Amino acid sequence: MENMTLQTVERALMVLEIISTQPKSQKELEEITGFNRSNVRRLVFTLINKGYIEKDTNTNKFKLGLKVVELSSIRLNQVELKTEAAPILRELSMKTNQVCHMGTYVDGEVVYIEKIQPVNSISMYSSIGRRLPVYLSSMGKVLLTQFSDDEVRNILKSTEIVKKTKNTHIEIDDILNEVKKAREQGYAIDDEENEDDIFCIGAPIYDYRNKMIAAISTTGNNKEFLKDGSEAIELVKSTAYEISKRVGYVK
pLDDT digits (tens, 9 = 90+) for 6-29: 888 999 999 999 998 899 999 999
Closest CA to 212 of 247, 175, 238, 177: 247
Q: Is the pLDDT of residue 142 over 60?
A: yes
Last residue of a domain, one of 44, 76, 108: 76
Q: Are residues 95 and 161 in the same domain?
A: yes
Question: CA 160, 161, 165: angle at the middle one, nearest 5?
Answer: 140
What is the predicted pLDDT for the residue at 126?
Answer: 59
67 occurs within a structural domain: yes
Domain coverage including residue 88: 79-246
Q: Highest-confidence range of 4-18, 114-128, 237-251, by mean pLDDT?
A: 237-251
Judge whether 251 lies within some domain: no
Predicted TM-score (pTM) above 0.85: no
Mean pLDDT along residues 107-124: 79
Residue 209's CATH number: 3.30.450.40
pLDDT above 70 covers a percentage of the chain that reads 92
Q: How many helices (H) and strands (E) would you count in the chain?
A: 9, 8
CA angle 232–103–75, rounded 5-degree value = 100
Single out the residue in 12, 44, 76 at which a domain terminates.
Answer: 76
Cβ atoms within 10 Å, residue 179: 25
Q: Give the phi and the psi of residue 214 in degrees, each rounded to 5.
A: -170, 180
Summary mean pLDDT of the chain: 89
| 2 has a pLDDT exceeding 70 | no
pLDDT by residue (tens digit) across 38-56?
A: 999 999 999 999 999 999 9
Burial class (CB in 10 A: 0-12, 13-18, 19+), 14: middle
The answer to whether residues 130 and 237 belong to one domain is yes
